[in-house]
Amino acid sequence: MSEYLRRISNGDIESALELIAEPVDWFTPGSTELIPWMGHRTTRAEIREFFKAAGENMTAESFEISRTIAVDRFAVVLGRFQYRVNATGKTFASEFALELRVTDGMIDRYHMHEDSYAISLAFH
């Protein structure tokens, strides 16, 4: 899990995808009509599209992990981020909780809990 976060923070999406199981239970709650990368995904190809859509639509201004709590195969990563929406120039910030499960060294559950309402407002 820490290796996945390291690869993502270095912008190495392809290498990070190697640590994702297939199928995976990947979920980011929110309206897929308003925010194209929200919703449920199950394959690496879909997760690659998640990162592509997010990167095309937003620019990171800050992303901070404040705590990681791991027990057995489960981890919760707590933090805060701020992004700017490229089309509107508006920023949004949110605290987040990322829930992960690792089985046989592969991430097979990824649920991001964030303020999707604040994100949707920044797109208008």
Q: How far is CA 59 from CA 52, 68, 71, 86, 103, in A?
A: 12, 24, 32, 7, 32
Cβ proximity of 109 and 24 under 8 Å: yes
What pLDDT, on a 0 to 100 scale, did the predictor assign at position 124?
Answer: 85
CA nearest to 56, candidates 85, 92, 90, 27: 85
**What sign for the dihedral angle of Cα 116, 122, 123, 124?**
positive
What pLDDT, on a 0 to 100 scale, did the predictor assign at position 2?
Answer: 85
Query: pLDDT truncated to tens, each residue of the chain (124 aa)?
Result: 789 989 998 999 999 999 999 999 999 998 888 888 899 999 999 999 999 999 999 999 999 999 999 999 999 999 999 999 999 999 999 999 999 999 999 999 999 999 989 999 998 8
Q: Is 56 exposed, middle or buried (0-12, 13-18, 19+ CB in 10 A)?
A: exposed
Q: Compute CA 25 distance to the chain's CA centroid, rounded to the nearest angstrom.
A: 13
Q: What pTM, to 2 d.p., does this model score?
A: 0.91
Alpha helices in 18-102 (DSSP H): 44-57
